[in-house]
Amino acid sequence: MNKEKEHNDFEALCAGYVLDALSKEEVKEFENMLKNASPEEKDLLAKMERVRDEFPLMTEPVAPSANVEDRLFADLASRQKPAESTRSVDDKVAGRIIPLWAYKAAAALFLIGSLTLVWMNADLSDRVSEQGAVITELQTELEKQDRLLDVLAAREVKLVIMGGLDPSPDGYGKILWDPENSQAVLQLANLPAPEQDKDYQLWLIKDGENPISAGVFNFDQSASDLFFEVEYLEEPSPVSNAFAVTLEPKGGVPQPTGDMFLLGQ
């Protein structure tokens, strides 16, 4: 028997062995093959056993019929009665009722099932990754909301209103400012969404001096309920403070260069 035929026989009998469908002679034949099996053949057996164990999980649960319980008890009762042997052939002949090609077909089905499980596991992994990204995004949003609430809960909150200028006359901005804890919340409304290579940038102007960046902001579409946490690091001036919003290159700039959309004292 050449190596290729031995491998084909091993593959065919492997399916029957996993399904417990071999005769005693075939089991003995396969187990003898298994003693000298190659690593690839042993791996094939392990894959078939794994697919056999996971096949029940690949289908949707189906509700049993109303009479299934009666049928099960009736079947158990019949099995308890002494059964007369009706076999007139030996195990070897009986085992060969299932031809070798049928075992090969079963092996092919096992391989198809294995590929299906690989695809299902990959799909499940993608879903888990997507859900993990959504959870992370929600956690970030919750943390942001907590920081915004901290500003609203401050004992002393100052309010700065910014009106729209020529690029967007209907634009509106509002800053809730907690000087004690150096934190603030920015609300923007009726501003056009910036282009992909642009960001809005908030500036603090103290006593008419050079503007100081207080954060960069971006959004996909105009709305009246856009809230942002202000990266407020500078102490306000006791004399005069103004805030402005300009449109700048992506990521912001050290000093304003673009059009000014909002301004408020």
Quote the CA–CA distance of 217 and 230 in Å, as a whole number: 9
Banded pLDDT at 90 (limits 50, 70, 90): very low
- The answer to whether 107 and 48 are in contact (CB under 8 A) is yes
Instruction: Return the pLDDT at 94.
Output: 43
For each of the domains in the chain, give its residue range(s) and CATH number, in order of start: 1-56+89-153 (no CATH), 158-264 (2.60.40)
The DSSP result for 100-112, as a single string, is HHHHHHHHHHHHH
Residue 166 has pLDDT above 70, yes or no: yes
- The answer to whether 255 and 211 are in contact (CB under 8 A) is yes
φ, ψ for residue 213 (rounded to 5)?
-65, 135
Higher-confidence residue of 166 and 140: namely 166
Mean pLDDT across the chain: 75
φ, ψ for residue 166 (rounded to 5)?
-55, -45
- 91-113 pLDDT, tens digit per residue, is 444 444 455 555 566 666 666 66
- 206-229 pLDDT, tens digit per residue, is 887 899 998 898 888 776 678 887
Quote the CA–CA distance of 203 and 246 in Å, as a whole number: 8
Q: For residue 86, give the 3-state DSSP assignment.
A: coil
- 19-61 pLDDT, tens digit per residue, is 777 788 888 888 888 888 888 888 888 888 877 776 555 555 5
Higher-confidence residue of 243 and 177: namely 243
- Confidence (pTM): 0.47
- Mean pLDDT across the stretch 171-180? 83
φ, ψ for residue 8 (rounded to 5)?
-65, -40
Instruction: Return the pLDDT at 229.
Output: 79
Query: Three-state SS across 121-161?
Result: HHHHHHHHHHHHHHHHHHHHHHHHHHHHHHHHCCCCCEEEE
Higher-confidence residue of 201 and 1: namely 201
Q: Smallest Cα–Cα separation from 175: which of 119, 256, 230, 112?
A: 230
Higher-confidence residue of 236 and 58: namely 236
Instruction: Return the pLDDT at 96.
Output: 46
Which residues, other chains included, contact 174 with Cβ-Cβ below 8 Å and sequence gap of 6+?
159, 160, 161, 162, 186, 187
Residue 246 has pLDDT above 90, yes or no: yes
At 193, list the tokens. Answer: 């969404």
Higher-confidence residue of 59 and 175: namely 175
Q: Smallest Cα–Cα separation from 230: which of 201, 205, 208, 255?
A: 201
